[in-house]
Chain A
Amino acid sequence: MSDDRIPLRLYGLRRGTVPLCTALCGVFALFILTPFLWIAINATKTQANIFQSFGFWFARPFVAVHNFAMLFADVDGNGVYMRWFGNTVLYAVLGGGGATVLSALAGYGFARYRFRGYKALFYLMMAVLLVPISALTLPLFLFYTKVGLINSVWGMILPSMISPVGTYLMRTYIEISVPRELLDAARIDGAGELRIFVRVAVPLMLPGLMTVLLISVVAVWNNFFLPLIIFSRNELYPLSVGMGVWSQHATTSGDNDLYPLIVMGGLVTIVPLIALFLVLQRYWRGGLLLGSIAN
């Protein structure tokens, strides 16, 4: 994919075009990297220094270890960061993993079978993308209060497993990468439909599955509205809501020493996801996100 570019000289470019474009990328990269740089440096500072010292260089005392250690403590009863971290991992693994499995199954059903009403179901699923989060979450809250799912981790995990976008991406990917002939050949060999899915289709779907897993995990990691509404006990919060509540406490109660925790906590929140993206680069770079626009 990277070697079939048309040679640059054919475009008849002016000299200096490449350095100019590279420089423009450098400027935009600086804009993108500035907050990352700021948070990495300031996670090592005391509260006073976060506000008073120069933002883009280190300052004494260097308290990175202390700030990190405080993430394991309950600060003034506002909640324990590491607890939230564990919750987020739990929600992301079960919710994102579940979303990937359900999306793969449903995407396969849509791509390779023509059962009655498959079109209606598919369009219903896509139409719901237009429904505002608030129109889904507020009634969910009322429903949860009735069935006792308020302050239950399942109230967070189960809805996270439903991903119309993931299902759409899987359908598109399967249409491109799982040939019908192969499935028919397996059927003639007498394999059952589920067995064909597991043994024949899934191995061919792996890159698509990784992309959907990545997108689903990020979606759960990011989810804010749902946990904000359904959790009232702070030991159940995911990171997003916990950090939001901290920042509110820091300003309203004039709480001392909450800011270094917010900065260090923010850093620890983004490092795992960036690492995940770097490891799985070829999946998001390879064009699988394109699945969302192929048709």
Chain B
Amino acid sequence: MSTRVQLARPAGAYGTGPRAGRTRRSWAARRERRGMGFVIPFFAGFAIFTIVPLAYAVYTSFYSTKLIGGTSFSGLDNYRETLGSGPFWNGVIRVVIFGSIQITVMLIIAFFFASIFDLGLVRFGGFFRTVFFMPFAVPIVVAALMWGFLLEPQYGPVSRFATALGLGDVNFFSPRLMLPSIIVIVIWEFTGYNMVILYTALRSVPRDVVEAAILDGAPLHTIVLRVKLPMVRPAIVMLIFLNVIGASQLFVEPLILNNYQAGVITSDYTPTYYIYNTAIHSGQFNLAAAMAVTLGFVVVALSGVALLFRRGRDVTA
């Protein structure tokens, strides 16, 4: 090898000998390792504010604090109490009912509108998409406050409107109608966000696939339900996943609506509300930690449902 050629090959990076190959690999490996530097700031914060608290929640759930005797190890006692706790499971059942209705209805509405926007069946589509997305910019506290005023049984305009229609005195915050009211509020809050994501997914379905279906003489509803819907299934699975996580932690809406109608939102209305009351109002942090960890397992189990949906009728992909 001449000196000239060697000069053109920096640090053996393009060498062919056995040693040169190792140098190249370690040079690359060193560069890849630098990537660690980019994730370290995030993971330092992640460790302090997520992993450590979570580990502490698990740790503290195995202890009990007594007025006399202080804190002592109590094994699975808190979990036994959680599993046998009527109020906790009442809340879980309530959010499961809530979630299965709210998520289903919301996704149907969101998919319907995303489809007709995608097909171009709507005049002023851009305007409507912006309007539908607006509630995403409203803090949930404010959304619950506005709907609280609107649905309030005595003075609320919606209740008065119902009376004017001849439906009698409708109390949207009665024990029977409270959960449907919360469902309406949450649908109001999140349909637009889900719609935007579905719309984007539908827009990315390749044009030639749809054209082929048209040439085959497929009617519009077949194109939407049999061609496009299966192609955006990953988006739907992701949305079910996110919505299940959200629904299982229902908290702010009941907390705020409790101010409009006393007595309907019981302390165990939702699991998160019950955990909050157990920790903050009753001061039973250890028990609350066990409940929070248990709720985590419930969420994992429920999001498994989203994955089942992906596997369910998946013949093609």
Residues of A within 8 A of B (CB): 1, 4-6, 8, 10-13, 17-18, 21-22, 24-25, 28-29, 31-36, 38-39, 42, 50-52, 54-56, 102-103, 105-106, 108-110, 112-116, 118, 121, 125, 128-143, 158-159, 161-162, 164, 167, 187, 193-194, 197, 218, 221-222, 224-225, 229, 239-241, 243-244, 247-248, 250-252, 262-263, 266, 269-270, 273-274, 276-278, 281, 284-285, 287, 289-290, 292-293
Contact = CB atoms under 8 A, between A and B. Distances in A.
A142 B295 CA distance: 19
**A contacts with B: majority SS:** helix
B132 A130 contact: no
B298 to A, nearest CB: 9
Nearest to B303: A130
B73 interface: no
A121 B39 contact: yes
A224 B310 CA distance: 33
**B contacts with A: majority SS:** helix
Contacts of A6: 207, 210-211, 214
Contacts of A33: 131
B41 A106 contact: yes
Leading 3 A-B pairs by shortest Cβ distance:
A113-B35, A109-B38, A55-B157
B52 A112 contact: no
Nearest to B194: A289
B188 A248 contact: no
B32 interface: yes
A281 B130 contact: yes
Interface range on chain B: under 10, 10 to 19, 20 to 34, or 35 or more? 35 or more
Contact of A109 (B35, B131, B219, B239): B35
Contacts of A24: 116
B309 interface: no
A10 B204 contact: no
Interface string B244-260: 01001101100110011
B199 to A, nearest CB: 8
Given A22-B124, A113-B32, A115-B32, 16 more contacts: A12-B219, A12-B220, A28-B109, A32-B188, A50-B155, A55-B157, A110-B39, A113-B35, A132-B248, A138-B275, A139-B56, A159-B49, A225-B251, A248-B259, A285-B129, A293-B201
A34 B146 CA distance: 10
Contacts of B296: 130-132, 135
Contacts of A244: 141, 252, 255-256
Interface of B: 31-39, 41-43, 45-46, 48-54, 56-57, 60, 109, 113, 116, 119-125, 128-143, 145-150, 154-157, 160, 188, 192-193, 196-197, 200-201, 203-204, 207, 210-211, 214, 219-220, 223, 234-235, 238-239, 242, 245, 248-249, 251-252, 255-256, 259-260, 262, 272, 275-276, 279-280, 285, 288-289, 291-293, 295-296, 299-300, 303
Contacts of B32: 113-115
